[in-house]
């Protein structure tokens, strides 16, 4: 299969970042995966948004990878290429930078990882209760692997 | 006596419903709406869909009760005037269905408010909903 | 005296109007359903709804003004019933005609609208409040064209009594032809008066639930609904008495004509509401002032000119 | 009348689902709008990790009943990519076919709801009457009216017989006639146009900035369609046009949807004419090898994306869903402000929101903490101004209490 | 632009038969492979429990009632009528039937032996 466009994007990324080859791979047509260090992340996003012109952030996946919390940002371009960028932070201190500076729609996705995985994203207030119901106990993050699935009894505010 | 009969008759012939989605997947909701569309036309049985709980006699619920809708469901139920009935449409509303065990789900409608009729199905076909409502009305006869 | 009480309570008063109102509601709903290619409700539906509502528990919101809340529906009902006394039913003559009763009918007909406003206002619920503001805004928009559309034919007839107007057109049916623009304007304004699509803005359920009626339930709602039904009869009768010159000296035949005429008006009303989308309040007001009022003015002008010719 | 804050929902006639829009009014004008979601949050993503891939199909299908096929296909595509299972071409064609039938039913449904929201119930009745034809067809092909359950890992569960194919053609023909009629209604009926034109505007720039997808984006003249950009199933070989419109308002969204219906018929005819012979499914391993995949699907309302990560077991390690409505939710608040209360339902409806999917994750509500106490106008205003400014929505042109919001 | 575009269609409604079906007075015919209530053939079942394992909502139970004899209990209030159990059953002991009118007043009545 011809993967010229994908390879071109990959080369550009590797050269600009100066990262090892295996950090960026082309999975198949239109799917590129990239792993970056947390420190470089915002710089990379800037490059992706402004130079590579990925216009849309499809979503952000947060996941519990054992010792670390991993965030995967799925950027899409109008020619169909999806660039998935990963960054991780230790579970003990899962702090990430916000990408709302480049992609406005990201707020919701970031808040979602904050609630469901207990991350914290700089620049987004961390007291926002989101998609979890009102009255959900603090510190309970259902998507963490060690969270048991007993539903805590919730007393709602009862307001309409 | 005659009066009582008349009132009972009127109740059976004029069940106004209010629809409340307690976290359904939409399929049951559109099937409920489809019963109002020309093919099934629930108005044949005097059913009108009302927006205000004050006007309605039958609360038609679809979906598993999520933690977030639980209090609203109770509130809407309380706002309705007596006599009132609750119909659980769809497997989710009956028991929580496929969502049983999800952390955001409380369970079926009857885990929160009393239910007068259960209509299983995923989604319940419009005919099944009509069947359920007609069965409910029949049970009011005595 | 007995006869008067019979007139007021039974025919063509309270009982007859209630029954006929329910029948008209049925016709309206059935036609609406048929226009939408569905079967529609059975014939007893409005009656069953009424009985059921009467027998239901009535909840009065804690924040609402109890006395107002309860008395308004009764007040509205009384007003439309009173208005009906000046409407001819089986001939060109109404029960208690007097010079100027056209104006009185129109005023009596605004009373229900005002009670809807007050009722909504006193429910102290957001949707009701919003609904009542819309009721009032809309009232100012359609009342003028409605009044003017009726004014024209009355000018031509040279009397301010509905019975007189009817009698005039019964005698000279040909003149009714010049009143067609007025008929159109009156029909459209009536749509607003009865709060139906495209002018059902005050109770637009997708926006403000049930508008002014949101908090009403049980018996009080039953009264309001009945009021609206009777109002529909009265408006249909008023419009048909003025614009449709179909009368008979024979009371039976006259009554039959009355039924035919009102049902025809109801048919038109149902048709209107099934082929249009609801306008926004500001579009409605604009429409009333820019289109409807000029139309009614044209009607008055035509009537004045015709009158001039007749007198020459 | 002063400023009023009215909650639309969670139980409100305009919404078929429990959501809460907090609309701040000055008379009839909307000065601020906030979206509170979260009523439908069930916890599906977590549940997916606790069930097998096979069970997940049915769970994911029930994220939403209207684009059930979209969700299950997107999920299965991801799983198949990880397991390196290639489905037979015939299966891909059947998936595409059902997907397009779903789009037809969904667009008809939308047209009816749009009519209903502006009080045009006759339109609702007729389009829902015609929609039944599609549902009958789908029930015949798949065994259920909604939540078809046709997809399975490695292919599809039911084949399409020649008689069924003939029946599809017949129904498509009838629907095409109806669609032309509705196109006439949507572009000519005065009262409808007066409610749709220039209502809920979302310019091309705003749509790009807020990441709108689907008909919302296409109505703003953005040629964005996953079926073309990132073809999946059989779309790579099917010729069709991406419909766009320049109105960028509710009318534009209506026209895009109705015209898309015509494309659906074209696609379905192509599928029936070119349906390859062969198997409809292949074996799929119970344990999926380690890996991850990201899959996109053009649902009737826009792009639906799924991310699946496998750890080599029979249950996925992580499933992430981002449904179309969530991508468009950010646009709604923007479209509402400055409009009329009467337009709120149609504007909301115009993105065709169905939050059961979106709620997986969103809840904007507490961003507007102040709005919880319903009549606390100043607090709401402060919060909303702050929020909007933080999010780059410019409200400075709107006057409040006779003053401009600085 | 035209007002009352739907007028002809609406008027036609007066003279055409309504699209309304007369259910429940007249039964509807659903496709024969419509996925409704399950049916079970005990003579085919070997008790392998594949159906139980694959059911997405835990709606089916296979209970041993004797040597090589099994009965199936289905919770109609949990079943999502997906038919996966029928696909999973290598013996074709389970099938879906087009029966869909399952409404009851008491939830207990929804747990049935099939
Ligand atoms: S007060 Fe109750 S009925 Fe009204 S919107 Fe809130 S939940 Fe719904
Ligand atoms: S019963 Fe099925 S169709 Fe109905 S809401 Fe639940 S999952 Fe959806
Ligand atoms: S109550 Fe009104 S808005 Fe709601 S579904 Fe019924 S008809 Fe539509
Ligand atoms: S947008 Fe979401 S809720 Fe709406 S139909 Fe699609 S999947 Fe369902
Ligand atoms: S957010 Fe949606 S998909 Fe996720 S668990 Fe909740 S309902 Fe399910
Ligand atoms: S055939 Fe089925 S039941 Fe038998 S051993 Fe294999 S998996 Fe188990
Ligand atoms: S049909 Fe589906 S939900 Fe019902 S028992 Fe079978 S597998 Fe379980
Ligand atoms: S899969 Fe079939 S044979 Fe096995 S237990 Fe279930 S019904 Fe019996």
Q: Which domains does chain D have, with CATH numbers?
A: 4-36 (no CATH), 44-358 (1.10.645.10), 364-404 (no CATH)
Query: At E102, phi and psi to the nearest 5?
Result: -115, 10
User: Taking 70 as the threshold, does the pLDDT of residue D370 lie above it?
Assistant: no
Model confidence at A157: pLDDT above 80: no
Contact D126 C274 (CB under 8 A): no
CA–CA separation, C190 and C196 (whole Å) = 9
Q: Does E85 touch chain B (CB under 8 A)?
A: no
Which mutation among E36, E58, E83, E86 tests ligand 7's pocket best, with the greatest number of atoms within 8 A of CB? E83
- The per-residue pLDDT for D12 is 46
User: Chain B contact for A134, CB < 8 A?
Assistant: yes
Q: Peptide bond before D10: cis, by omega within 30 degrees of 0? A: yes
The chains in contact with chain B, meaning 3 or more Cβ pairs closer than 8 Å, are: A, C, D, E
Q: How many CB atoms lie within 10 A of CB C57?
A: 12
Q: What is the CATH number of the domain that holds A82?
A: 3.30.460.80
Mean pLDDT of D257-280: 89
The C-alpha atoms of residue C239 and residue C244 are separated, in whole angstroms, by 8
HSE-up of D74 (CA within 13 Å, CB side)?
A: 31
For chain C, give the percent of residues with pLDDT over 70: 78
Domain total in chain A: 1
Which of A107-116, A149-158, D27-36, D270-279 is predicted with the least confidence, judged by mean pLDDT? A149-158
pLDDT at D39: 59
Q: How confident is the model at residue D373 (pLDDT cuts 50, 70, 90)?
A: very low
Give me the pLDDT at residue D225, please. Answer: 86
Ligand 6 centroid to E48 CA: how many Å? 7
Q: Which residue has the higher pLDDT, D8 or C121?
A: C121
How far is it, in rounded angstroms, from Cα C257 to Cα D366? Answer: 63
Burial class (CB in 10 A: 0-12, 13-18, 19+), B41: buried
**Contact criterion met (CB below 8 Å) for D45 and D32:** no
The predicted model gives E66-88 an average pLDDT of 87
Quick check: C37 and E13 CB within 8 A?
Answer: yes
How far is residue E97's CA from residue E26's CA, in Å, rounded to a whole number?
Answer: 19
Q: Tell me: pLDDT of A152 over 60.
A: no
CB of E18 within 8 Å of a chain B CB? The answer is yes
Banded model confidence at residue C125, pLDDT cuts 50, 70, 90: low
Q: State the Cα–Cα distance between residues D98 and E81, nearest whole angstrom.
A: 19
Mutate to test the interface with A, among B53, B69, B71, B102 (most CBs of A within 10 A): B71
- For residues D244 and D218, the answer to whether their CB atoms sit within 8 Å is yes
- The mean pLDDT value for D18-26 works out to 58
User: Token pair of C208, please?
Assistant: 């403000």
CA C90: distance to chain centroid? 19
In C, minimum Cα distance to D26 occurs at C130
Is residue A125 assigned to a domain? no
Smallest Cα distance from B100 to chain D, Å: 9
Phi then psi dihedrals of residue E29, to 5 deg: -100, 120
Residues 6+ apart with CB under 8 A from C18: C226, C229, C230
The answer on pLDDT for B99 being more than 70 is yes
**DSSP string spanning A110-159?**
HHHHHHHH--EEETS-TT---SSPTTPPTT--TTSTT---PPPP------
The DSSP element (H or E) to which D346 belongs, if any, is helix D344-350
Chain E interface test: which of D56, D58, D189 (most E C-beta within 10 Å): D58
Residue D147: C-alpha distances to residues B30, D61, D64, D98, D165 (Å): 12, 6, 8, 11, 21
Q: Whose CA is nearest to atom 4 of ligand 4?
A: D354
What's the pLDDT at D30?
Answer: 66
User: Which pLDDT value is given to residue D368?
Assistant: 29
Which residue's C-alpha comes closest to atom 1 of ligand 1?
A: A160
Question: Which residues are E2's β-sheet partners?
Answer: D189
Give the closest residue to A107 by CA, choosing from C107, E26, D365: D365
Nearest CA to ligand 7 atom 6: E85
Per residue in A100-117, is it b (16+ CB within 10 Å) or e — as a string?
A: bebbbbbbbbbbbbbbbb
Name all contacts of D169-173 with Cβ < 8 Å and 24+ positions apart.
Answer: D169/D269, D169/D272, D171/D133, D171/D134, D171/D136, D171/D137, D172/D265, D172/D268, D172/D269
> pLDDT tens-digit profile of B114-125?
888 888 888 888
Report the separation in Å between the CA atom of D230 and the middle of ligand 2, taken as the mean of its atom positions: 31
CB distance E48 to ligand 6 below 6 Å: yes
With 80 as the cut, is the pLDDT of residue B135 above it?
A: yes
Q: Which residue of D has its CA nearest to C210?
A: D13
Mutation choice for A interface testing from B54, B68, B77, B78 by most A CBs within 10 A: B68
Task: Classify residue A55 as exposed, middle or buried by CB count within 10 Å of its CB (0-12, 13-18, 19+).
Answer: middle
Q: Give the integer Cα–Cα distance in Å for C83 and C85.
A: 5
Q: Report chain E residues touching chain C, CB-CB < 8 A.
A: 3-7, 10-11, 13-14, 16, 18-20
Residue E75 pLDDT exceeds 60: yes
Minimal C-alpha gap between A159 and chain B (Å): 8
Q: Which residues of D touch A143 (CB under 8 A)?
A: 45-46
Q: Domain of residue C128: give its range.
A: 11-307
The pocket around ligand 1, CB under 6 angstroms, is made up of A 160; B 53, 72, 75-76; D 7, 9-12
Instruction: Check the CA dihedral D201-D206-D212-D215 and report its sign.
Output: positive
What is the pLDDT averaged over residues D299-316?
A: 87
Ligand nearest to the CA of residue E72, numbered in listed order: 8
CA distance A115 to chain B (A): 13
Q: In this structure, are residues A104 and D209 in contact, taking their beta carbons and an 8 Å threshold?
A: yes
**Ligand nearest to the Cα of E94, by number:** 8
Question: Mean of the per-residue pLDDT values for chain A?
Answer: 80
Q: Which of D58, D59, D63 to mutate to test the pocket of ligand 5 (most atoms within 8 A of CB)?
A: D63
What residue ranges line ligand 7, CB within 6 angstroms?
E 38, 55-57, 59-60, 74, 79-85
Closest C-alpha among E12, C88, D363, E83 to residue A114: D363
pLDDT of residue C300: 81
Provide φ and ψ at E39, rounded to 5°. -125, 155
Residue C280: pLDDT over 60: yes
- The C-alpha atoms of residue D45 and residue D56 are separated, in whole angstroms, by 10
ipTM: 0.83
What tens digit of pLDDT does each residue of A26-74 get?
888 888 888 888 888 888 888 888 888 888 888 888 888 888 888 999 9
| CA separation for the pair C207, D274 (Å, rounded) | 47
Could you tell me if D363 and D64 are in contact, meaning their C-beta atoms sit under 8 angstroms apart?
no
Residue C204: pLDDT band with limits 50, 70, 90: low
Cross-strand bridge partners of residue D23: D6, D33
**In angstroms, rounded to a whole number, what is the distance separating the alpha carbons of residues B47 and B69?**
25
Chains that touch E (3 or more CB pairs under 8 A): B, C, D
> Highest-confidence range of A53-67, B98-112, C82-96, by mean pLDDT?
A53-67
Provide the pLDDT for residue C291: 79
Residue C207: the pLDDT is: 52
pLDDT (tens digit per residue) in D99-111: 999 999 888 888 8
Q: What is the mean pLDDT of chain C?
A: 76
Point out the residue among E2, E55, E84 whose CB comes nearest to the CB of D189: E2
Nearest CA in chain E to B136: E105
Residues from chain A contacting residue D7 (CB–CB below 8 Å): 160
Surface of B (99-118) touching C: CB under 8 A: none
Determine the pLDDT at residue D339: 66
pLDDT (average), residues D304-314: 88
List CB contacts of C100: < 8 A, sequence separation 6 or more. C160, C161
Nearest-CB residue to D128 (from B34, B51, B125)? B34
Counted across chains D and E, CB pairs separated by less than 8 A come out at 64
- Number of A/D CB contacts below 8 angstroms equals 112
Residue C95 has pLDDT above 50, yes or no: yes
Would you say the CB of residue D131 lies under 6 angstroms from ligand 5? no
| Residue D395 confidence (pLDDT) | 33
Q: Is the pLDDT of residue E53 over 80?
A: yes
Model pLDDT for residues C155-179, shown as the tens digit of each residue: 777 777 777 777 777 777 777 777 7
- Encode C59-94: b = buried (16+ Cβ within 10 Å), e = exposed: bbbeebbeeebbebbebbbbbbbbbbbbbbbbbbbb
In this prediction, residue B24 has a pLDDT band, given cuts at 50, 70 and 90, of: confident
Residue D392's pLDDT band (cuts 50, 70, 90): very low
Round the average pLDDT of chain D to a whole number and report it: 74
How confident is the model at residue D11, as a pLDDT? Answer: 47
- What is the rounded average pLDDT of the residues D188-207? 78
Write the secondary structure of chain C as one string of H (helix), E (strand) and C (coil).
CHHHHHHHHCCCCHHHHHHHHHHHHHHHHHHHHHHCCCCCCCCCHHHHHHHHHHHCCCCCCCCCCHHHHHHHHHHHHHHHHHHHCCCCCCCCCCCCCCCCHHHHHHHHHHHHHHHHHHHHHHCCCHHHHHHHHHHHHHHHHHHHHHHHHHHHHHHHHCCCCHHHHHHHHHHCHHHHHHHHHHHHHHHHHHHHHCCCCCCCHHHCHHHHCCHHHCCCCHHHHHHHHHHHHHHHHHHHHHHHHHHCCCCCCCHHHHHHHHHHHHHHHHHHHHHHHHCCCCCCHHHHHHHHHHHHHHHHHHHHHHHHHHHHHHHC
Please give the backbone phi and psi of residue D74, each rounded to the nearest 5 degrees, phi first: -60, -45
**Closest residue by Cα to residue E74 from E66, E90, E91, E99:** E99
Examine residue A31 and state whether it is found in any structural domain, yes or no: yes
Please, which pLDDT band fits residue D340 given cuts at 50, 70 and 90?
A: low
* Closest chain B residue to the Cα of E27, Cα to Cα: B127
Per-residue confidence band for D47, with pLDDT thresholds at 50, 70 and 90: confident
Structure tokens at E65: 């009632």
Is pLDDT at C76 greater than 60 in this prediction?
yes
pLDDT at D337 over 70: no
CA–CA separation, A143 and D43 (whole Å) = 9
Range of lowest pLDDT (B17-31, C210-224, D97-111, D311-325): C210-224
The CATH number of domain B15-141, selected from 3.30.70.260, 3.30.470.10, 3.40.50.12280, 3.10.420.10: 3.40.50.12280
E34 alpha carbon to ligand 2 midpoint, in Å?
Answer: 16
CA–CA distance, D115 with C197 (Å, rounded to integer): 12
Q: Which residues constitute the domain of residue E84?
A: 35-98+110-114
pLDDT at res. C139 = 74
List pLDDT tens digits, range C231-269: 888 888 888 877 777 766 777 777 788 888 888 888 888
CA–CA separation, E74 and C15 (whole Å): 57
- DSSP E strands in D40-96: the ranges are none
Would residue C139 count as lying in a domain?
Answer: yes
Do the domain assignments include residue C248?
yes
Return the pLDDT at D403. 32
Residue D190: pLDDT over 50:
yes
Q: Domain holding E48: CATH number?
A: 3.30.70.3270
Specify the DSSP element, H or E, that contains B134. helix B126-140
- Radius of gyration, alpha carbons of chain A: 18
Examine the pLDDT at A105 and tell me if it is beyond 50: yes
Name chain E contacts of B98, Cβ cutoff 8 Å. Answer: 56-57, 80
pLDDT band (50, 70, 90) for residue D186: confident
For ligand 2, residues with CB inside 6 Å are: B 24-25, 27-28, 62-63, 90-92, 97-98, 122-123; D 62, 65, 147; E 80
D389 pLDDT more than 60: no
Contact C287, C295 (CB under 8 A): no
Asked whether the beta carbons of D62 and B25 are under 8 A apart, the reply is yes
Ligand 7 atom nearest to D58, measured from its CA? 2
Q: Across the interface, which of B6, B51, B81 has its CB nearest the CB of C209?
A: B51
Ranked by mean pLDDT, the top range of C13-27, D89-103, D215-229, D369-383 is D89-103
Query: What does the domain layout of chain B look like in residue ranges?
Result: 15-141
Distance C224 CA to ligand 3 centre (A): 20
Q: Provide the β-strand partners of residue A97.
A: A122
Q: State CA C36 to chain mean position distance.
A: 24
Does the residue E1 lie in any domain?
A: no
Looking at chain B, how many residues does it have?
142
- Chain B hits for A160, Cβ within 8 Å: 72, 75
Inform me whether the pLDDT recorded for D14 exceeds 60.
no
Structure tokens belonging to residue A131: 């998609």
Atom 2 (ligand 1): residue with closest C-alpha? Answer: A160
pLDDT at D353 over 70: no
Taking contacts as CB-CB distances below 8 angstroms, the residues of chain B near A133 are 66-68, 104
D15: distance to nearest CA of chain B, Å? 9
CA A12 to chain centre: 21
Task: Report the number of distinct structural domains present in chain C.
Answer: 1
CB C23 within 8 A of CB C16: no
- Partners of C201 on chain D (C-beta within 8 Å) are 342
Residue with the bigger pLDDT between D323 and D268: it is: D268
- Model confidence at D381, in pLDDT bands (50, 70, 90)? very low
Question: Considering only A133-142, B105-114, D22-31, D396-405, which range has the smallest mean pLDDT?
Answer: D396-405
- As given in the structure block, the two tokens for residue C29 are 């709903």
Confidence of residue C212 (pLDDT cuts 50, 70, 90): low
């Amino acid at each position: 299969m011809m993967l010229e466009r994908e390879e071109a994007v990959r080369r550009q990324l590797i050269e600009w970042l100066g990262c090892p080859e295996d950090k960026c791979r082309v999975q198949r047509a239109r799917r590129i995966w990239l792993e970056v260090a947390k420190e470089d992340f915002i710089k990379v996003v800037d490059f992706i948004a402004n130079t590579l012109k990925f216009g849309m952030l499809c979503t952000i996946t947060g996941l519990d990878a054992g010792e670390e919390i991993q965030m995967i940002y799925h950027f899409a371009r109008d020619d169909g290429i999806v660039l998935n960028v990963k960054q991780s932070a230790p579970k003990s201190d899962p702090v990430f930078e916000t990408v709302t500076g480049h992609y406005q729609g990201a707020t919701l996705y970031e808040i979602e990882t904050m609630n469901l995985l207990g991350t914290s994203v700089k620049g987004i207030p961390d007291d926002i209760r989101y998609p979890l119901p009102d009255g959900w106990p603090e510190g309970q993050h259902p998507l963490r692997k060690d969270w048991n699935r007993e539903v805590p009894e919730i007393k709602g505010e009862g307001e309409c | 006596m005659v009066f009582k009969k008349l009132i009972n008759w009127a109740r059976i012939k004029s069940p106004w419903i209010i629809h409340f989605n307690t976290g359904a997947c939409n399929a049951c909701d559109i099937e409920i709406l489809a019963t109002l569309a020309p093919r099934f036309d629930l108005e044949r049985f005097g059913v009108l869909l009302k927006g205000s709980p004050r006007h309605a006699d039958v609360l038609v619920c679809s979906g598993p009760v999520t933690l977030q809708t639980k209090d609203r469901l109770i509130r809407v139920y309380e706002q309705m005037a007596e006599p009132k009935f609750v119909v659980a449409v769809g497997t989710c509303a009956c028991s929580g269905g496929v969502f049983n065990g999800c952390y955001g789900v409380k369970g079926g409608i009857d885990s929160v408010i009393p239910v007068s009729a259960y209509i299983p199905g995923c989604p319940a076909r419009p005919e099944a909903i009509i069947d359920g409502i007609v069965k409910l009305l029949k049970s009011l006869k005595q | 005296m007995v006869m008067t009480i019979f007139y007021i309570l039974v025919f063509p008063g309270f009982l007859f109007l209630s029954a006929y109102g329910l029948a008209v509601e049925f016709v309206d709903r059935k036609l609406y359903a048929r226009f939408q290619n569905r079967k529609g409700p059975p014939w007893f539906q409005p009656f069953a709804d009424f009985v059921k509502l009467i027998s239901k528990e009535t909840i009065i919101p804690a924040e609402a003004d109890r006395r107002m809340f309860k008395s308004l529906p009764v007040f509205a009902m009384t007003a439309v019933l009173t208005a009906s006394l000046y409407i001819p039913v089986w001939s060109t003559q109404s029960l208690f005609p007097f010079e100027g009763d056209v104006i009185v009918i129109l005023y009596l007909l605004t009373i229900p609208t005002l009670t809807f406003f007050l009722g909504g206002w006193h429910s102290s619920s957001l949707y009701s409040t919003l609904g009542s503001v819309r009721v009032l805004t809309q009232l100012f928009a359609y009342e003028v064209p409605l009044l003017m559309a009726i004014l024209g034919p009355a000018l031509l007839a040279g009397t301010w009594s509905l019975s007189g107007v009817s009698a005039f057109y019964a005698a000279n049916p040909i003149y009714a032809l010049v009143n067609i623009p007025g008929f159109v304007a009156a029909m459209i304004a009536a749509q607003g008066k009865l709060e139906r699509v495209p002018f059902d803005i005050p109770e637009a359920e997708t926006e403000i639930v049930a508008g002014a009626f949101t908090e009403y339930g049980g018996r009080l709602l039953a009264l309001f609904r009945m009021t609206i039904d009777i109002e529909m009869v009265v408006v249909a009768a008023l419009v048909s008495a003025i614009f449709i010159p179909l009368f008979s000296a024979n009371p039976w035949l006259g009554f039959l004509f009355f039924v035919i005429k009102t049902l025809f008006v109801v048919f038109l009303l149902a048709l209107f509401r099934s082929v249009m989308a609801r306008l926004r309040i500001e579009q409605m007001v604009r429409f009333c002032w820019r289109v409807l009022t000029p139309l009614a003015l044209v009607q008055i002008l035509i009537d004045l000119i015709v009158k001039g010719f007749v007198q020459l | 009348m002063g400023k009023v804050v009215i909650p639309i929902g969670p139980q409100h006639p305009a919404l078929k689902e429990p959501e809460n829009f907090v609309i701040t009014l000055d008379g009839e004008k909307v000065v601020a709008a906030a979206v509170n979601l979260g009523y439908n949050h069930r916890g599906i993503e977590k549940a997916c990790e606790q069930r097998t891939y096979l069970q997940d199909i049915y769970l994911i299908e029930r994220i939403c009943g209207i684009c059930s096929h979209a969700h299950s296909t997107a999920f299965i595509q991801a799983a198949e990519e990880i397991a390196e299972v290639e489905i037979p071409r015939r299966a891909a064609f059947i998936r595409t076919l059902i997907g397009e039938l779903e789009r037809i039913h969904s667009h008809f449904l939308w047209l009816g709801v749009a009519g209903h929201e502006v009080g045009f119930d006759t339109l609702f009745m007729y389009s829902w009457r015609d929609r039944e034809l599609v549902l009958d067809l789908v029930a015949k092909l798949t065994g259920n009216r909604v939540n078809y359950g046709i997809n399975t890992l490695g292919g599809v569960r039911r084949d399409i017989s020649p008689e069924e194919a003939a029946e599809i053609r017949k129904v498509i023909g009838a629907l095409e006639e109806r669609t032309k009629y509705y196109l006439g209604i949507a572009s000519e009926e005065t009262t409808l146009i007066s409610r749709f034109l220039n209502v809920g505007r979302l310019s091309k720039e705003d749509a790009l900035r807020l990441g709108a997808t689907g008909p919302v984006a296409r109505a703003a003249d953005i040629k964005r369609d996953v079926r073309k950009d990132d073809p999946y199933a059989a779309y790579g070989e099917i010729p069709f046009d991406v419909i766009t419109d320049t109105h960028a308002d509710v009318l534009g969204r209506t026209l895009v949807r109705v015209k898309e219906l015509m494309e659906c018929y074209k696609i379905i005819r192509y599928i029936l004419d070119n349906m390859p012979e062969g198997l409809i499914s292949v074996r799929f391993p119970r344990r999926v090898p380690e890996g991850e995949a990201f899959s996109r699907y053009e649902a009737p309302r826009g792009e639906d994306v799924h991310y699946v990560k496998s750890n080599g077991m029979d249950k996925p390690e992580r499933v992430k869903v981002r449904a179309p409505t969530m991508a468009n939710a950010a646009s709604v608040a923007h479209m509402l402000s400055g409009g009329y209360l009467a337009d709120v339902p149609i504007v909301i409806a115009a993105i065709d929101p169905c939050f059961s999917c979106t709620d997986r994750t969103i809840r904007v509500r507490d961003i507007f903490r102040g709005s919880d106490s319903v009549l606390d106008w100043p607090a709401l205003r402060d919060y909303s101004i702050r929020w909007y400014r933080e999010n780059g929505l410019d409200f400075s042109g709107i006057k409040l209490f006779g003053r401009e919001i600085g | 632009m035209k007002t009352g575009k739907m007028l002809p269609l609406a008027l036609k409604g007066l003279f055409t038969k309504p699209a309304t079906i007369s259910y429940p007075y007249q039964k509807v015919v659903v496709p024969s492979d419509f996925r409704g209530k399950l049916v079970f053939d005990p003579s085919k079942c070997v008790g392998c429990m594949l159906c139980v394992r694959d059911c997405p909502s835990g709606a089916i139970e296979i209970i041993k009632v004797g040597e090589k004899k099994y009965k199936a209990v289905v919770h109609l209030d949990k079943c999502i009528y997906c038919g996966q159990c029928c696909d999973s059953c290598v013996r074709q002991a389970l099938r879906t039937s087009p029966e869909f009118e399952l409404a009851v007043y008491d939830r207990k009545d929804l747990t049935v032996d099939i």
